[in-house]
A and B are shown apart, each in its own frame.
Chain A
Amino acid sequence: MRHEIKKEIINLIEQQTGFKYPIRWVDEKTTRGDFDGRESSIDVFYIPFSEEDEFLTLIEPIRNRIRELIGNRGLFIFHSPEATDKYYSHLFPITKGIIVENGFIKFPEISETEGSTEIIGARINIKYWKAA
């Protein structure tokens, strides 16, 4: 599947769900091993078990569109908030406690997960990264 199509599908779902849950295409950073439908699977993070049905209801109006774009059925893999924190915190970086003078913090892109930052400052006094 082309990168642009993957991005369009993620954007569709994010907007339909009001960005309520971080989502990401399954890859080696989230799922090991092979299974049927891996190429058309999307991870949904920080979603309590009790909200999984609500998620599927929310995206019902765009499911046909998603199927058209994928060319197959989409598969969703739900990760609870507890599981997300325990196993996937590397996808949700927090930049905390930095002092930046005469510089800036840059997000090269708006990424739903694993976003990277560039920190440019003439004097950075404290710097540490803390996983969620």
Chain B
Amino acid sequence: MKRAILGSNTFEDCGNIIIVFGTPLFSYTIDGQVKLSFKVLSPPANTPIHIENNDKIAGNVTVKADDKSASISLNLPESKAANKLIDLSIDNGTAHINLDLRPLGLNIYSDKNAFHVGGSQLSGNVFKNCANGIAIGD
């Protein structure tokens, strides 16, 4: 079973955890090292970011990965806030994901208690066998 936790929400055997305006936001595989893919278009983001299996396709970002974790950070000359867009770590087969799209101008982020979309929160929910767990935008 493929299991992931995002903002206290659990995803089991889901195809995509989040899609943003129809585009799957991220995916990962574990093949020696964690390989992370991440894609957000502009608009809705203020700049496009595209990473494919840790390889940078578009965006001024830094990708870090090892056998248990991977992260993508936005390189900002003067950061007003934390600029790590996604941080994923594997523990006992479960992916623990922190997400923050605020540096991209989207009020979407997670903390240990909830996943936040604007002023709304998802907390302690379970998604099973979902093609897309959370869909944001029409």
Contacts and interface: CB of A to CB of B under 8 A. Distances in A.
Contacts of B135: 104-107
Interface string A101-128: 1111111111111111100010000000
Interface string B74-105: 00000011000000000000000000001001
A94 B125 contact: no
Contact of B122 (A14, A105, A109, A114): A105
Nearest to A110: B118
B134 A95 contact: no
A82 to B, nearest CB: 17
B119 A105 contact: no
Given A19-B107, A109-B138, A93 B121 contact: yes
B81 to A, nearest CB: 4
B120 A100 contact: no
B137 A108 contact: yes
A120 to B, nearest CB: 9
A113 B119 CA distance: 5
B41 interface: no
Q: Which bracket fits the contact residues of A?
A: 35 or more
A100 B108 contact: no
Contacts of B109: 19
A22 interface: yes
Interface of B: 44, 46, 80-81, 102, 105-109, 114, 117-138
Give the top 5 A-B pairs by smallest Cβ distance, nearest first.
Answer: A115-B120, A18-B81, A113-B119, A106-B135, A111-B118
13 contacts: A15-B46, A92-B119, A94-B122, A97-B123, A99-B128, A100-B126, A101-B130, A102-B129, A104-B127, A106-B134, A111-B119, A111-B120, A114-B119
